[in-house]
Structure 1
Amino acid sequence: MSAHSPDASPPSPTPPGKPRQAAVAAWIGSALEYYDFFIYGSAAALIFPKVFFDPDHPATATLISLGTFGVAYATRPLGAFLLGHIGDRLGRRRVMVLTLLMMGVSTFLIGCLPTYDQIGTAAPALLVLMRMLQGVSAAGEQAGASSMTLEHAPEHRRGYYSSFTLNGTQAGQILATLIFIPVAALPDDQLYTWGWRIPFLLSALVAVAGYVIRRNLEETPAFRRVAAEPAPAAPPLVHLLREHWADVLRVVAAATIATVSTIFTVWALSYATGDAVGMDRSAMLWVGVVANAVALLAIPLWARLSDRIGRKPVFLIGSLGSGVMVFVYLWAISTGSYPLVLLAGIGFFGVVYSAANGIWPSLYGEMFPTRVRLSGMAIGTQIGFAVAGFAVSFAAQIAGPDGDNWVGVALFTAAFCLLSSVAVVTGRETFRVPTGALGGRRENGREGARTAESVSP
């Protein structure tokens, strides 16, 4: 039924929510959760090859250690199906509490694990198990927090408020890196015995803080409205895959833009501090801190711009621009010049990538109706993120035995930037679509408008 047909009534307005409270809860929770997630990335590049793997084969140990970073991305799709179903059936708040507790506990346990020298191959096996639990947790975190903020936000500011989820993620990365800077500066005999455990053990505080922050969150007006209606016969996942499969695939392809983040955060750090270049560990960690600090400012600005001109043009600035800037950044590392690396890192990750990174919560979330929004975002993003996670291992192989083929890694990363751009270009523009009409269908189940133009004011 067309939106302009005589029988089509305008979508009922979304009741007012609590956008500031939802945004603050999403920001703090995401910062705490992704502190846990990112300290693993730093440790996988700098610490774990010598702690959990055979030290007599350093090149192989590094390759496998970086591979364990990607293991969490392999379990993310499983977590997305499970937590997406819970979130669309029982509510966003329950998912947001569950994910934080799961992440905090699994990360704390990593800090308690015995090493390779103590129990042999059982050590990396336990490490992988904990990493898998981290992946399940992360699968529901961003989709849950993004759905919460988007559905609480005023219709003309959904981009801005939903960007707080990713802004918190960047803050978590800053916190993780700041913790690792003094740890990485410890003498080797202290670093590889007890020093590396400190950031992981601090996750006990994350679990407690996350529960306190999120236990009193209110459900969104949109979800309460849908939950009050008679439930459809088909479960949310069945409805999602039957009615919205094209947008799920679109999100999968677009979400591979996260390859930029994993290459910047993990592979580039390993490349810069390895034998091929030999830059200082602490100096490279500071590059990440400064770039992420700039991203904290850039993300809400890009998001506000998307509320004015649309999601698609802002995302394309970030994705296509990142495909160019990855060459600049990796070239800067190859020169060994700290000023060049810092400037390139700020421009690449702090400014350009933030355009895509900051607005995907609204871009992806607006593709789906409330009843399947969390599932659609979680499943689509986590499959795409799984590709991004294992991109680190492929990059290590592309770089060759000497680890210095940065051009090949840059081309590899740019290919994913192009793929994500094509996916977004083929989608609808949604920044002016009323919240009740998002996903192309009315919330009461009646056929709605299929394009942004047909429902735009």
Structure 2
Amino acid sequence: MTMTAKPTSHVTHSDKKRRNARNAAISGFAGSALEYYDFFIFATAAALYLQDLYFPGAGASGQLFSLATIGVAYITRPLGALLWGHLGDVIGRKKVLIAVLVLMGASTFVIGLIPTYAQIGIWAPIIIVVLRLAQGLSAGGESPGSASLSMEHAPDNRRGFFSSWTMAGITFGIVISSAVFIPIQMLPEEAVMSWGWRVPFLLSAVVTVVALILRRTLDEPEVFVETKAKALVVKVPVFELVKSHPKKLLLVTGMSLFTMVNTMINVFTLTYGTEVSGIPKGEMLAFISVANLIAVFTLPMWAHLSDKFGRKPLFITGTVLQIVLIFAFLWALANGEPSNTVIVWILGILLVAGAYSMTNSIYPAYFPEQFPANVRYSGMAICLMIGLLLAGFTPAIAQSISGSDHNWIGVALFASVCVGISGVCALLCPETYRTPTEKLGLSAKKEV
């Protein structure tokens, strides 16, 4: 009887592990999609509407102020990384991932209710900024926690694939955050500016409920449970990171700088394409939606290849291709005709769904793989959010560099330097795709 019981137990445990890996990937996709739908509808609204509603009379600076509200959320993202990373490493991943969803959903819903500058004066932009800061605090814990949890649940040889669904979810969130404004653009201008732009924010109430239902089904990863059982949980993970993993903190932070390409394409070029190139807002929104929708499918493909051939070669190749395509895409956008945007679409899709997705798909596994389980959430969150701080202000920085003469070369050079730093840091990081999950980060416990 003993001999027959053991295989049954083994099969049951294997089935449970497969189910947990699948549920973590599905929850990572859905939760991240819904969380970043909330986060990015603000970016789209800031690029298209908030200048006139909340910064009237500011002249040429109005658009800069509006784009800067996107960036303020990235100020609190590192703070959110510290908070949620600490809680995630101490009390568990699942509870933290539920908390960040509630905060994001509530903040986004209230943004849809804020009166305009014409109604309550200076309090309108102040409230906008405060709620945007709350969004940033929430976003500081979402992708690091979701990626860490998915990576820890995944089989050793498929960590890249399973964790990439977090990024696929974020990318799908960008798709729907842009697509939801396409029918809004079809309304009369007066309707758009009075109530139409608010609809996507108010829909976040439904978004939040769906995400919470999915996230409540998750289990804590075995590697985290074992860490707690062996009393390896540290009281203050950030202190342990600084003490034992300083080199990894610097390198992973440097690798995260490439994420500025995201906001450069999805926010800055949305404004640049409409105001400088004369491309209709609806077409630019459609381009962003289509490019990111294609990326939803290419992300798992690139991640699967990283499970076969390694994280470093694909990550570095992605950074090189991004530098080339950034110059080509911005040139096409600056010199193309509004009546013929085919080359803009082709180069933009190659950049977003090809080169950028190549690196974007890998980091949800590659970044947390650099750290041991007891500081993994904190390490991933802190490094990523510091890098994303640059991404948050990229639209405003790019707008300043572009200036009145629409200097696209300066913007391309700025982006290329950031992406190049990411590639160099990846070159200096160890390869991890063949390391067993329970041994990740342990070989470099004491760094100098």
TM-score normalised to the size of structure 2? Answer: 0.93
Q: Is the 8 A contact 1:49 1:58 kept in 2?
A: no
CA distance in 1, matches of 2:274, 2:59: 14
Q: Deviations over 1:24-55 (max 9, x none)?
A: 0110000100101111111111011111112x
- The one-letter amino acid paired with 2:327 is F
Which residue in the other structure is 1:418 paired with?
Answer: 420
1:385 to 376, 385, 388: 388
Change (3 A) 1:111 1:233: closer
The answer on whether the counterparts of 2:89 and 2:233 sit within 8 Å (CA) in structure 1 is no
Contact residue 106 and residue 205 of structure 2 kept, 8 A: yes
Q: How many residues align?
A: 429
Amino acid at match of 1:345: G
The whole-number CA distance in structure 1 between the counterparts of 2:223 and 2:233 is 16
The residue that corresponds to 2:165 in the other structure is: 164
CA contact (8 A) 2:312 2:431 kept: yes
Contact (CA 8 Å) 1:170, 1:296: kept in 2 or not? yes
Per-residue deviation, 1:231: 4.2
Structure 2 vs 1, CA of residues 16 and 109 (structure 1 numbering), >3 Å: closer, same or farther? same
- Mapping for residues 262-411 of structure 1, pairs under 5 Å: 262-274=263-275, 276-334=276-334, 335-336=336-337, 337-402=340-405, 404-411=406-413
Deviations 1:245-302 (A, max 9, x none): 211111111111011001001101110111x222100000110111011101111110
SS of corresponding position for 1:218: coil
Provide the C-alpha distance between the structure 1 equivalents of 2:137 and 2:320, rounded to a whole number of angstroms: 30
Q: Give the deviation of 1:330 after TM superposition.
A: 1.1
1:208 CA displacement? 1.2
Superposed displacement of residue 234, structure 1: 4.6
Aligned residue number for residue 10 of structure 1: none
- Tell me the percent identity: 42
CA, structure 1 residues 68+373, in 2 after alignment: closer, same or farther (shift >3 Å)? same
Q: Does the CA-based 8 Å contact 1:291-1:345 persist in structure 2? A: yes
State the distance in 2 between where 1:115 and 1:144 align: 35
Q: What is the one-letter code of the residue matched to 2:172?
A: A
Q: Amino acid of the residue matched to residue 348 of structure 1?
A: L
Distance 1:429 1:233, change over 3 A: closer
Q: Deviations over 1:38-86 (max 9, x none)?
A: 11111111011111112x3342110011011000111100000000000
State the match for 2:108 in structure 1: 107
Shift, 1:441, TM fit: 4.3
CA distance in 2: counterparts of 1:406 and 1:433, whole angstroms: 42
Question: Are residue 27 (structure 1) and residue 29 (structure 2) matched?
Answer: yes
SS of the aligned residue for 1:109 comes to helix
TM superposition shift of 1:233: 6.0
Tell me the distance in 2 between the aligned counterparts of 1:123 and 1:311: 45
Letter in structure 1 aligned against 2:193: Y
For residue 219 of structure 2, what is the amino acid of its counterpart? E
CA–CA distance in structure 2, aligned partners of residues 57 and 90 of structure 1: 47
Q: Which amino acid aligns with 1:394?
A: I
Deviation at 1:367, TM superposition (A): 0.1
Query: How big is the shift at 1:339?
Result: 1.1
Counterpart residue identity of residue 394, structure 2 = A
- The aligned counterpart of 1:215 is 216
Q: Is the 8 A contact 1:42 1:177 kept in 2?
A: yes
Moved more, 332-341 or 20-29: 332-341
Q: Which amino acid aligns with 2:54?
A: F
Residue 274 of structure 2 aligns to which amino acid in structure 1?
T
Report how far residue 216 of structure 1 moved: 2.6
Query: Displacement of 1:401 after TM fit?
Result: 2.2
State the alpha-carbon separation in 2 of the partners of residues 216 and 255 from structure 1.
30
Distance 2:284 2:255 in 1: 29
Deviates more, 1:227-236 or 1:91-100: 227-236
Q: Is residue 49–residue 62 contact of structure 1 (8 Å, CA) maintained in 2?
A: yes
Selected match of 1:47 from 46, 49, 55: 49
Letter in 2 for 1:421: G
Q: What TM-score, normalized to structure 1?
A: 0.91
Equivalent position SS for 1:196:
helix
Q: Deviations over 1:171-206 (max 9, x none)?
A: 111111110111123221111110000000001112
* Residue of structure 1 equivalent to 2:174: 173
Q: Distance in 2 between matches of 1:440 and 1:231?
A: 13
Report if aligned partners of 1:50, 1:58 keep a CA contact under 8 Å in 2: no
> Within the alignment, does 1:439 sit opposite 2:441 as a pair?
yes
Give 1:363 shift.
0.8
Query: Is the CA contact 2:233–2:374 (under 8 Å) kept in the aligned structure 1?
Result: no
Measured in 1, the distance between the counterparts of 2:164 and 2:90 equals 24
Gaps of 5+ in 1: 1-13, 451-457
- Provide the C-alpha distance between the structure 1 equivalents of 2:247 and 2:311, rounded to a whole number of angstroms: 18
* 1:366 partner SS: helix
